[in-house]
Amino acid sequence: MSRLKNFARSLTEPRNGASADGRALGLGLSTALTEQRKDAEAQAAVARTLRKDAEGHSIHG
């Protein structure tokens, strides 16, 4: 019975790892790409915040 449940679950759940051109990437590579994406989003958020803070200030006082 558990084989049937596992089979049904495998049909409904996405495969582990990101899919690029039909091939599944390894789970380690998928995790690394996810972390890289998070880092890039955090850097962009910091840049936006600094830009907002700088809008009201000029170098000429």
Residue pLDDT, tens place only, 9-60:
777 776 665 555 655 666 777 788 888 889 899 999 998 888 887 776 655 5
User: What pLDDT shows up at residue 20?
Assistant: 55
pTM, two decimals, is 0.40
Q: For tokens 């990437």, name the residue.
A: 25
More confident residue, 14 or 8: 8
Classify 22 in phi/psi space as left (phi over 0), alpha (psi -120 to 50) or beta.
Answer: left
| Bridge partners (DSSP) listed for residue 24 | 19
Domain edges within the chain:
24-56
Helix, strand and coil in the chain, % to nearest 5? 65, 5, 30
* 3-state SS assignment for residue 24: strand
User: What pLDDT shows up at residue 8?
Assistant: 79
